[in-house]
A and B are shown apart, each in its own frame.
Chain A
Amino acid sequence: MGDTKDYLNSRLQNNSGLSTKKLTLSMGPQHPATHGVLRLVLELDGETVTKCTPYIGYLHRGVEKLSEHKNYLQIIPLTDRLDYVASMANNIGYCVAVEKLFGIEVPQRAQYIRTITGEMARILSHLLWLGTHALDIGAMTVFLYCFREREKLIDLFERLSGARLTVSFPRIGGVRNNADTKWLEDLYKFTDEFPMRVKQYETLINRNRIWLQRTKGIGVISAEEAVNWGLSGPTLRGSGVPYDIRKFMPYGVYDKVSWEVPTGMNGDVYDRYRVRMEEFLQSNAIIRQCIEKIPEGAIMADAPKFTLPPKDKVLSDMEHLIRQFVLITKGPQTAPEGELYVATETPKGELGFYIVSDGTGKPYRMRIRAPSFVHISALPKLCEGHLLADVIANIGSVDIVLGDCDR
């Protein structure tokens, strides 16, 4: 490929009167391959990208500013819409942060239900990633295969929480509904056949020559650079850094089940693809072990100043009615003053909540550290100097969701 370019350049220089110019192309906010409203202004020299500038903010909804005016319970639906593909993961991240701030201990059954639904959200997000990434690169059949599995999981979410996409399922101190035995059985049946489905996806693309040529050696980032840029999640693990918050700072019941962290070696698009394919199987294993081990018990913590009472008590007992009223209208009145940064591992990477509490029912400042924000900032490093078609492969492999990035 290099000698063709030199040959053409020499022909151009010999033919006087012909010259080349750089083209500025706006891969605008409406584009089927940018996975949301991302605008990339590319300067092209032929097919090679010389400069890449991302423009974001088209989906900015002011979640941080809104959170300062809502009490802790009302922020849960706001966090749903951050990474709207795996909304349970954001909810869990927020609830873990607030519970650590208030010092609430969540009961075991609720922890197990949260871990199970968190891993279901991870599988959902990776299924969407695989379908759209393959679709962008050209393998169009994978898309509907992935959506078939998504439908099954989304149906299970709907049975449990009432919503398909933005679930708002956990509460401060526990979860909203109990998972009954029939639901757990159906989920167990799903995990029986899921590894075979993953094998199906692999037979579609793993040994396809076009896939290998378009993903191996593309978008390489070394481990030190990736850590310096602040990448996280599978994007960082593809470069060989085994940083997974579920292992480094465990929350939920991740330290009670046995699973492994898949890590890549070369830091290219292909390794990140393999990391996420392995994560399918690991999440499957976590869900199976959690269903086998789930204990009976309460699903809401016993912290009367911070958690809502059960509905039957509210309707019959005065004290619980008052507690419900105060918590819903004003928020927890005895919140401690202080600040905390708590990070959890969402399917996209490290989602961090930095909450500053001033003792009232509303947070003073809620800062959301979004993984996609940091990943898009590293896109120019991955794209510059390579071909235009690699930009599409890079955006797909970095797995961004603009709701997460813009908040």
Chain B
Amino acid sequence: MEPIEIAERLKEQFPFDVLDLASFRDQVQVTVKRDRIIDICNYVHKDPDISMDYLSDLCGIDYPGRRLRFEVVYNLYSLKYRHRIRIKALIPENDPSIDSVVLIWKGANWHEREACDMFGIIFNGHPDLRRILMPEDWEGYPLRKDYPLQGPDGSEYRKYEELKELHSRDDELGIK
């Protein structure tokens, strides 16, 4: 099936949840609401003509200007038919949670843990949601756009005499 046909089928099946269809360089993405994400993922996993049995990737993106600040992106692939599709679920900032798809694809387990670690998105129903790349007691969500590149104590190094010359043009160059 062509990826655009899969997107059309998805829109037919879930007319109230699919918000947008877009295509770039023959890769198709479908933007959905987060409420029925488990039904949508079950549909693409089990439908015999679509059969997305391989979860390539699950990640989060931060768009700080929008009301629906976070996006969770599912990159899916079908080994049987060799077609790809991308599903994006929009998540608001004040309640950053979405259902976990770990029962559909077991590989989603650690990807969801990383999205929670880096962005603070909570996955309901995940068996073991704790920090994975950062230390367990870390505070803050590093991949958000408002988190400084050098970490919360990056500016602390400016107080050392030996490093003064190194950091002398930081404000001018916009280095945080």
User: Interface on A for B, CB 8 Å cutoff?
Assistant: 56-57, 60, 62, 64-66, 69, 100-101, 103, 225, 227-231, 241, 243, 248-249, 338-341, 343, 350, 352, 354, 356, 364-365, 367, 369, 373-374, 376-378, 406-407
Contact = CB atoms under 8 A, between A and B. Distances in A.
Interface stretch (B11-19, B89-97, B103-111, B160-168): B103-111
B167 to A, nearest CB: 17
A103 B54 contact: no
Given A243-B79, A248-B82, A367-B59, A377 B73 contact: no
Given A69-B149, A341-B57, A60 B134 contact: yes
A352 B134 contact: no
Given A57-B132, A57-B133, A341-B27, A354 B57 contact: yes
Contact residues of B: prevailing secondary structure: mixed
Contacts of A64: 118, 143
A362 to B, nearest CB: 12
B105 to A, nearest CB: 6
Which residue, B59, B73, B131, B134, has most C-beta atoms of chain A within 10 A?
B59
A66 B105 contact: no
A248 B77 CA distance: 11
A227 B56 contact: no
Given A228-B53, A354-B73, 8 more contacts: A60-B134, A248-B82, A338-B24, A338-B25, A369-B57, A369-B59, A377-B109, A406-B133
B75 interface: yes
Contacts of A100: 25
B107 A374 contact: yes
B150 to A, nearest CB: 10
A241 B61 CA distance: 32
Nearest to B55: A230
Contacts of B147: 65
Nearest to B176: A69
B74 to A, nearest CB: 10
Contacts of B24: 338-340
A101 B134 CA distance: 31
B86 interface: yes
Interface in B72-90: 73, 75, 79, 82, 84, 86
B53 A227 contact: yes
Contacts of A369: 56-57, 59, 75
A56 B132 contact: yes
